[in-house]
Amino acid sequence: MAEQLLDEMIQKINQIMASLDGTIAQIHQMSGSITQMTQTFSEQTVAMTENIRLIVEVLKQFRVQSTKSLSDLSVDFNQKIKELWDKKSIEAITEEEKKAIDIIKQASKAVTDNLYFAQLLNIIQSIREETNRIISSSQ
């Protein structure tokens, strides 16, 4: 009877050892998968960071170029105003028309600013969607 109990205990211990060996193998496999996912996530994060850096650089260049274009337009506009002033034809403009010109200038500036911020918001939204897609695909 003692031998039978001893055999049963040995069988149970062997079963437990086999189960633990399988569990350890699964843990190693999970560890490898986690390491691979971490590596992939790190690579994607680096790539996304580089893309964001490039987008910001493009935005800076766009802003510089649009500022130059606006400066050129402003110089041209101011030159034409000076010509009109020199010819005294600008004196014929009434106060209401001057107010209307000021309102148009303000509206033009507001439209320019809104277009810039709309483009920036669109890019940020695209980045957010791409980030969510990357996070979703890695889970």
Q: Is residue 45 part of a domain?
A: yes
Tens-of-pLDDT digits for all 139 residues of the chain?
778 888 888 898 888 888 888 888 888 888 888 888 888 888 888 888 887 888 788 777 777 776 667 677 777 777 877 777 666 655 566 666 777 778 888 877 777 777 777 788 788 888 888 888 888 887 6
Q: Is residue 22 part of a domain?
A: no
What does the CA dihedral 10, 13, 15, 21 come to, rounded to 10 degrees? -140
Closest listed residue to residue 56, CA positions, set 127, 128, 134, 112 = 127
Spatial CB neighbours of 40, under 8 Å, sequence gap ≥ 6: 138
| Per-residue pLDDT at 92 | 60
Q: Is residue 131 part of a domain?
A: yes
Q: How many CB atoms lie within 10 A of CB 78?
A: 10
Q: Is residue 25 part of a domain?
A: no
128: domain range? 40-138
CA 1 to chain centre: 73
Q: What's this model's pTM, rounded to 2 decimal places? A: 0.41
Q: Is residue 80 part of a domain?
A: yes
Q: Is residue 20 part of a domain?
A: no
Domain count along the chain: 1
Distance, CA of 43 to CA of 79 (rounded, Å): 54
Q: Is residue 50 part of a domain?
A: yes
| Per-residue pLDDT at 72 | 75
Spatial CB neighbours of 93, under 8 Å, sequence gap ≥ 6: 101
Q: Is residue 86 part of a domain?
A: yes
